Amino acid sequence: MNTINETNFEFPKQKSVYKGKVREVYNINDEVLVMIASDRLSAFDVILPRQIPFKGQILNQIATKMLHATSDIVPNWLAATPDENVAVGHLCNPFKVEMVIRGYLSGHAAREYKAGKRILCGVTMPEGMKENDKFPSPIITPSTKAENGAHDEDISREAILANQVVSEEDYLVLEEYTRKLFARGTVIAAKRDLILVDTKYEFGKTKEGKIVLIDEIHTPDSSRYFYQEGYAERQEKGENQKQLSKEFVRQWLIENGFQGLDGQKIPEMTDEKIIEISNRYIELYEQITGENFVKANTENVLQRIEKNITKFLTSPN
- Checking if the pLDDT of 1 tops 80, the result is no
- Checking if the pLDDT of 146 tops 70, the result is no
Quickly state the pLDDT bin for 243 (edges 50, 70, 90). confident
Element (H, E) at 314: helix 301-314
Q: According to the model, what pLDDT value does residue 20 have? A: 87
CA dist 160 and 175 (Å) reads 12
In the chain the domains, ranked by start, together with CATH numbers, are 14-92+269-314 (3.30.200.20), 94-242 (3.30.470.20)
Q: According to the model, what pLDDT value does residue 317 have? A: 64
Residue (of 42, 3, 2) closest to 19 by Cα position: 42
Which tens digits make up the pLDDT trace of 25-84? 999 999 999 999 999 999 888 899 999 999 999 999 999 999 999 999 999 999 999 999
Q: How many CB atoms lie within 10 A of CB 273?
A: 15
- Checking if the pLDDT of 148 tops 60, the result is no
Q: According to the model, what pLDDT value does residue 245 have? A: 81
- Checking if the pLDDT of 221 tops 90, the result is no
Q: According to the model, what pLDDT value does residue 151 have? A: 62
Give φ, ψ of 18 to 5 degrees. -115, 130
Q: According to the model, what pLDDT value does residue 97 have? A: 96
Quickly state the pLDDT bin for 195 (edges 50, 70, 90). very high
* pLDDT: which is higher, 251 or 231: 231
* pLDDT: which is higher, 147 or 206: 206
- Checking if the pLDDT of 150 tops 70, the result is no
What is the pLDDT averaged over residues 298-303?
95
Q: How many CB atoms lie within 10 A of CB 44?
A: 16
Q: According to the model, what pLDDT value does residue 147 have? A: 61
CA dist 100 and 107 (Å) reads 12
pLDDT, averaged across the chain:
93
This prediction has a pTM of: 0.91
Greatest C-alpha distance within the chain: 61
Q: Which residues contact 191 (CB under 8 A, 6 or more apart)?
A: 290
Q: According to the model, what pLDDT value does residue 157 have? A: 96
Quickly state the pLDDT bin for 315 (edges 50, 70, 90). confident
Rg (CA), the chain: 20
Is there a contact between 201 and 102 (Cβ–Cβ < 8 Å)? no
Is there a contact between 92 and 32 (Cβ–Cβ < 8 Å)? no
- Checking if the pLDDT of 296 tops 60, the result is yes
- Checking if the pLDDT of 145 tops 90, the result is no
CA dist 74 and 182 (Å) reads 11
* pLDDT: which is higher, 246 or 209: 209
What is the pLDDT averaged over residues 174-187?
98
Q: According to the model, what pLDDT value does residue 204 have? A: 95
